[in-house]
Structure 1
Amino acid sequence: MSIETTPSSAPDPEWERLVAGYQNSPDKTPAAPLPAAVDLMGDTPLTPAWTKTRSGWKNRAALGRINTTRGFRKWLRRQGTEHGHAAQIYRGAARVTVWVRGVEGVEVAKAKHEARRAHKEYRQAQWANGKRLMPGSVKDKLAREMDKAAEDSERAMNKYRKARKDARTLQSLRAAAAITPLAAIESAGLYVGGGPGGIIAAGLTLTGLALIGRRTTTGELWSDRDAKIGDGDRMTETMLNRVYRDAKVIGSDDVLKLTTPCTLTADGKAWQVVFQLPSGIPAKKALGSREGIANGFGVSVQQVHQTRGDREDTIHLRVSLKLPFSSKPTRGPLLEAERANLWKPIRMGVNLRGEEVVTSWVERSGLFGGEPGSGKSAAANDLLLAAALDPTVRMYLADGKAGADITPFEPIATMYDTDGDPEKLLEILQHMWDVEIKERRALAKEHGSRKLTEAMAVVDPRVCLAVLLVDEWSSYGAAADQRTRQEMERLLRLIVQQGRALGIITLAATQKPDSDSVPTGIRDILSIRWAMRCLTPQASDTILGQGYAAAGHNAQDILKSQRGVGIYMDGEGAEPELVRGDYYDDEEVAVILERAYRLRQEAGTLPLGPLDRLRAADTDGSILADLLDLYDAGVEMLPASRVLEGLAEAGHTVTADRLAALVPRTDDEKRRQDIDGSRVSVYPLTAVRRAVLDRYGITA
């Protein structure tokens, strides 16, 4: 057997690796730079940068003034309780007195009791020894007992005197220890500041006594257990834990882990913090306990806003100092915009933090719902007005409640219905399915794509977006027969499903969000949701989706004073948030739509009106269009001679017989009428309009 060995002169790689860290020779390699200190809170400074700005100081000063007033009122209320300063000073003085007396009083009382007992025993022994008729031996025994009792009594009395002397000495020392600082402070105050100095010194003395007596007889303190944001107190970690314990979100022994400190927002209008829940507690438990949490903070439910973080155990909390969105809305940005581009994200309003909420509506659809007067129509206007300022967008509008919300849009709408007529809505939907969808599908195929995009619109003016608004579907359904209702529902579902990729944006709005208002099959494919104030949590869930009300997103909590405010969900996976839509009054809407009409006129994208469609139909249609132009406002009939002259001036050679064939009249309409003192044949405006409707299906 042979053993292989490594020559001593040959290097051993394994050995060199093991001893490499123990060599004493200087290292020739440059030292690597030390790693930077890890910032556990990321780039977020402990003191927000905005606090050092001018606006930050201004906001904090304003908040300080408010909290000073609230704090003074709270201090006044406190004085009538056992936590008042007078009660604290009294308890402090009583505790100082007890401390001065000390526990020696017990020893003195004990020695005094022992002295009294010994003296009583001595007196009893002395009385027994004073009896005359007794044997000598008994007499001697009683005398010895009397002498012993006398010695015990003297000893107990000496012990009592010593205990009393020691107690007086210690009490004098403690009294000196208690009084000397007070006397020194008072003397120094009087010496340095005279009368004012004495008053300040007395205040310091009372403050010291109040600190000693700050605990009640049961050991309670005036602390954050009583603090509430609604009373002007600042948010602290202690307050946060107390509130979530009282709301039964966490257990009595659980503690919240703060990810960020409790700080004021940049505008000074709210407290905010991010924290993690204890293990095993889901975020939805905190989101569903808004009432209890609001009670703990001393604010209304509307002032508490919680959102789920990136993790299930993380909560972003914001507590507003005032009711949010209770002030007058600011001027809408579309008033200053010359034009808009609906291919780009548009602003829908502002959230609680005052940030703009922008949404891209390309390949999207939406459902806006809420009770009457909640601001639903104003919210829908944010999209419609932006679409109006984009001259390439085609608009199809239908209002089932026959209101005046979309009336101002009529001059620029491709098709519209403001009468709540199911047949008109069916006509609009049929046109979109037969014409719009067909043309757009052909355009996408021509560009070799499955959908229409902004890049195509840049090079091909035929590529554009279209907006379809159906307001109050339930009204249309109630007024239509079953066949018409089923056909409308079928077409609307097809338009939403297939029009999404073809540049058609569908928006449904309803006052009563249920399966009758917007069919379930259609509602489920509308991606963007905006729930205005609702009467029940179920109505809120109908708009946002099942379970959102229980998770803290309940539109029933929105107050009536918060018009135009709703829970907004953009459909991109983000947590719903409270948003107030931009508001435009009737005059502002008129200004914007006037600009929109001018833009479309310049771009040549104005929709064809009834007269334009008549002229485009045929020669007879052109004659009828020019005939309608002859009737000035308020004129209900024209003499036949004036009609023929007007048509001749417009370039039409029309005989009386041909005119009579174009505009059939009833027997009553053929009767001559007195005009300027002569009885002449006339053509009523109603007869002309009836002829246009019967022949071309156009309402003039």
Structure 2
Amino acid sequence: MTDLIRKPTDGTLVDAAARFPQQPAADVYDQEQDTAVVESARQVLQGVVLGAPAELSVEKNVDRDAFGDTPLIPAWTRTPAGWKARAAVGRVNSTRTFRRWVRRQASEHGHGPQTFRGIRRTFLWVQGTEGAQVATARHELQQAQHDYKAAKWAHDRRLIPGKEKDKRRGEMEKSFAASTSAMSKYKSAQKGARVRRAFRGATVLAPVATAEGVGLHMLGAPGGLLATCSTLAALALIGRRTTAGELYTDRDAKIGDGDRMTDDMVNRVYRSAKVIGTEEVVKLLSPCTLTADGAAWEVRLELPDGIPAAKALGATAQLANGFGVSVQQVSQTKGAREDWITLRVTLKVPFTGQSTKGPLVTADKVSLWSAVPMAVSERGDVVSVEWFEKTALFGGEPGSGKSAAANNPLLTAALDVTADLYLADGKGGFDLSPFEPIAQMIDTDGDPEQLLAILRHVWEVVLPELKQTVKDHSVRKFSESLAAKDKRVRFTILYIDEWASYMAAASPEQQKELERLLRLITQQGRAYAVIVIAATQKPDSNAVPTGIRDILSTRWAGRCMTPEASDTILGKGRASAGYNAQRILKSQRGVGYLQTGETSEPVLTQSYFYTDEEVEAILRQAYSLRQEAGALPAGPASLADQLRDLGNEQADILAVLLDTFDLHPGLEGQPIEWLPGSVLVDALTAAGLDVSADSLGRLVVRTDEEKAKRLWQGSRAVGYPRSRVLVTVRDRYKLGA
């Protein structure tokens, strides 16, 4: 692809519409990316993946409630790709619902225990309270019979006198009557209980029998099975409350336990995190929905009156506790209004897999006038930055991936033949060595004197030329249209890695001059396409001067040791607002918060990663492009040219001698080591220099051994070794090795 990067319509950091094949659509409730998602879905269906950034829109392409303005489901979900994504989400939700159902069965809220409780409660209802009445009547009957037997035994004694006998007969007859009455009452209670139980039993069994009969009659065995299931479901409904009266609820549900996000869960978590009061609720602007790729739950919400978004953004750790996940899994993004928040909870820690392969591997050429793809967001969107009029600061502890992140604009600039690279590595490492063949000036030794030479060249040579170009066209600053008219319009990339190392090795005078030049270049170079990029482990006032750090607009904060270090990169207060690079794990290589001057909030991203082999391949392509366009940097001046620049006659003679040696190749293509004096004198004469053999001998003083004759083209001649000419140059003019 010859035009990898397109220019965005708004010229700011954007989430591109491009989707990788494994993520064919965006999340179903992302209001600000509906336009991008629709285009992405169309491209995915056609089997085409583009890297073009899309225009952000808040108001367009959003379905709204007929009775209000609450954003609901985006229009893209009604496209073929949208239906496919929703079907995938449905499958994921079904699987998770089944797993939650299986876990529930082992508790007292399982459907088995519920059914048995329903059967028991139904049986007790059918039995009713008549049993107590029958038992009471039985007890009274037994007591009456016992009294009658006792009275009869006392009456049947033969030795009792007559009057006593009559008294006991009366008591016996009275006990008999009471026993007869108790028997009648007991039988009446039994009969009433049987009737009432039969009625309640019929009330319970009639619907069951009717359902079974109808099911068997109409559908046969399947109908009978369906009726049985309905009966069991009814019994489970009756037994849904436990013996203690508790109902099954998800008030303690957590995403970390596999539960789904619900409205009640969101409100409960925000209350427990002290973001909202115990009586307050957050208004959900979109449903709690699993994203199209099944990787996270997301919801857009509106905070109650009087609660700023910063309060919610600063409670990320508390929210993670409530959701039962790690703090890295919770992401909150401020919306277009102060009370709008987009909450995202991933099902696993993001960016812990393989880094995303960068798009520059297959690019033929690119343009820095277009947005540069820098990284991938948590949603899998391409995050791009337009670098014209930008400066940047990349910071993070060693191993955080800041060099890999900074490679993205550097490699892009390498593939733009209109970009000149001025590179300096204060570590003295090998990160910038592959760029050496295409860099205008480069220092890989960490030498402050070399950095000073680079800054002076940019300030004294490059910037004046660029300013003159603007004056010639009577415009205020560079532009893409001006670049199409005038080839002098070029980007200048000034990249300095570990400024603190340079400052530590420099003298006080050099430190002041380095800081002065860098400040001037940074302040004045923006309008002339001078892009200053600094990278350091901890960009404090010792690493990068405060006056320079504050005007570096684009920031990338990798993993930091402390919240204060994170704030040093992103700005004071960012860590407390939820953008704390200390929370980035060591396993999240290349992950950092990316913030540009146009974006109000940082974005958590994972920068593209290019292996050493890929970097070499990209730079080979860059070298070929620049060679074809004639944009390769001029090499160092030859020793002969340096002699001519001196404007000295003897220096000119020595320059001609060196050129003559170079014109006579020796072994393996190297300059010949010895030439006869006659050949050298003839070359001097041809160059317009009247030099005799004696004058040449006095200029280039030889030893007796070097004056000895040597064989040249079949005869012996007196000559001069090339090494003696080089010694003469070194001794007279301090040039050469």
Which amino acid is 1:463 matched to?
V
Match of 2:675 among 636, 641, 651: 641
Residues 602-621 of structure 1 mapped to structure 2, 5 A cutoff: 602-611=628-637, 615=641, 618=645, 620=651
Match of 1:552 in 2: 578
Match of 1:39 among 40, 49, 66: 66
Query: Comparing both chains, which one has the higher relative contact order based on Cα–Cα distances under 8 Å and sequence gaps of 6 or more?
Result: 2
Change (3 A) 1:516 1:276: same
Looking at structure 1, the residues matched to 667 and 398 of structure 2 have their Cα atoms a distance apart, in angstroms, of 36
Q: 1:17-75 CA distances to partner (integer Å, 9 max, x unpaired)?
A: xxxxxxxxxxxxxxxxxxxx97356595x554444444445445555555555544444
SS at match of 1:611: coil
Change (3 A) 1:612 1:529: farther
Give yes or no for contact 2:369–2:387 (8 Å, CA) kept in 1. Answer: yes
SS at match of 1:641: strand
Match of 2:360 among 334, 356, 362: 334
Looking at structure 2, the residues matched to 78 and 624 of structure 1 have their Cα atoms a distance apart, in angstroms, of 95
Change (3 A) 1:574 1:149: farther
Match of 2:16 in 1: none
TM-superposed CA distance for 1:573, in Å, is: 3.6
TM-superposed CA distance for 1:409, in Å, is: 1.6
Match of 1:437 in 2: 463
Which amino acid is 2:111 matched to?
H
Looking at structure 1, the residues matched to 148 and 666 of structure 2 have their Cα atoms a distance apart, in angstroms, of 137
Does 1:313 find its partner at 2:315?
no
Match of 2:296 in 1: 270
Q: 1:606-631 CA distances to partner (integer Å, 9 max, x unpaired)?
A: 32211369737627586598568989
Give yes or no for contact 2:658–2:722 (8 Å, CA) kept in 1. Answer: no
TM-superposed CA distance for 1:633, in Å, is: 11
Give yes or no for contact 1:70–1:231 (8 Å, CA) kept in 2. Answer: no
| Unaligned runs of at least 5 residues, structure 1 | 1-36
SS at match of 1:271: strand
Looking at structure 1, the residues matched to 731 and 435 of structure 2 have their Cα atoms a distance apart, in angstroms, of 24
Does 1:102 find its partner at 2:128?
yes
Q: 1:221-250 CA distances to partner (integer Å, 9 max, x unpaired)?
A: 333335444455443322322332343433
Looking at structure 1, the residues matched to 254 and 536 of structure 2 have their Cα atoms a distance apart, in angstroms, of 40
Residues 246-265 of structure 1 mapped to structure 2, 5 A cutoff: 246-265=272-291
CA RMSD between the two structures = 4.7
Looking at structure 1, the residues matched to 132 and 727 of structure 2 have their Cα atoms a distance apart, in angstroms, of 119
Which amino acid is 2:607 matched to?
G
Give yes or no for contact 1:623–1:647 (8 Å, CA) kept in 2. Answer: no
Stretch of structure 1 that moved more, 415-424 or 115-124: 115-124
TM-superposed CA distance for 1:307, in Å, is: 0.6
Give yes or no for contact 2:700–2:725 (8 Å, CA) kept in 1. Answer: no
Looking at structure 2, the residues matched to 467 and 493 of structure 1 have their Cα atoms a distance apart, in angstroms, of 15
Change (3 A) 1:127 1:437: farther
Stretch of structure 1 that moved more, 415-424 or 623-632: 623-632
Looking at structure 1, the residues matched to 68 and 497 of structure 2 have their Cα atoms a distance apart, in angstroms, of 48
Give yes or no for contact 1:365–1:527 (8 Å, CA) kept in 2. Answer: yes
TM-superposed CA distance for 1:112, in Å, is: 6.8
TM-superposed CA distance for 1:161, in Å, is: 5.4
Looking at structure 2, the residues matched to 659 and 199 of structure 1 have their Cα atoms a distance apart, in angstroms, of 118
Looking at structure 1, the residues matched to 682 and 234 of structure 2 have their Cα atoms a distance apart, in angstroms, of 108
Match of 1:218 among 221, 241, 244: 244
Match of 2:206 in 1: 180
Does 1:541 find its partner at 2:567?
yes
Which amino acid is 2:414 matched to?
A
Looking at structure 2, the residues matched to 81 and 128 of structure 1 have their Cα atoms a distance apart, in angstroms, of 63
**TM-score computed with the length of structure 1 as normaliser:** 0.78
Match of 2:446 in 1: 420
Q: 1:461-512 CA distances to partner (integer Å, 9 max, x unpaired)?
A: 3333211101111221222233322321222122212222332111001123
**TM-score computed with the length of structure 2 as normaliser:** 0.74
Match of 1:92 among 115, 118, 121: 118
Give yes or no for contact 1:346–1:360 (8 Å, CA) kept in 2. Answer: yes
Give yes or no for contact 1:67–1:232 (8 Å, CA) kept in 2. Answer: no
Match of 1:235 among 249, 252, 261: 261
| Unaligned runs of at least 5 residues, structure 2 | 1-63
Residues 414-563 of structure 1 mapped to structure 2, 5 A cutoff: 414-563=440-589
Give yes or no for contact 2:289–2:297 (8 Å, CA) kept in 1. Answer: yes
Which amino acid is 1:210 matched to?
A
Match of 1:390 among 411, 416, 420: 416
Looking at structure 2, the residues matched to 438 and 605 of structure 1 have their Cα atoms a distance apart, in angstroms, of 20
TM-superposed CA distance for 1:355, in Å, is: 2.7
TM-superposed CA distance for 1:206, in Å, is: 2.8
SS at match of 1:173: helix
Looking at structure 2, the residues matched to 361 and 184 of structure 1 have their Cα atoms a distance apart, in angstroms, of 77
Looking at structure 2, the residues matched to 41 and 629 of structure 1 have their Cα atoms a distance apart, in angstroms, of 86
Change (3 A) 1:573 1:61: closer
Change (3 A) 1:67 1:443: same
Looking at structure 2, the residues matched to 524 and 244 of structure 1 have their Cα atoms a distance apart, in angstroms, of 35
Looking at structure 1, the residues matched to 177 and 583 of structure 2 have their Cα atoms a distance apart, in angstroms, of 88
Match of 1:21 in 2: none
TM-superposed CA distance for 1:274, in Å, is: 1.0
Looking at structure 2, the residues matched to 570 and 596 of structure 1 have their Cα atoms a distance apart, in angstroms, of 27
Does 1:302 find its partner at 2:332?
no
Looking at structure 1, the residues matched to 578 and 728 of structure 2 have their Cα atoms a distance apart, in angstroms, of 56
Looking at structure 2, the residues matched to 664 and 479 of structure 1 have their Cα atoms a distance apart, in angstroms, of 42
Change (3 A) 1:236 1:73: closer
Which amino acid is 1:564 matched to?
G
TM-superposed CA distance for 1:600, in Å, is: 2.9
Looking at structure 1, the residues matched to 69 and 678 of structure 2 have their Cα atoms a distance apart, in angstroms, of 85
Match of 2:383 in 1: 357
Match of 2:12 in 1: none
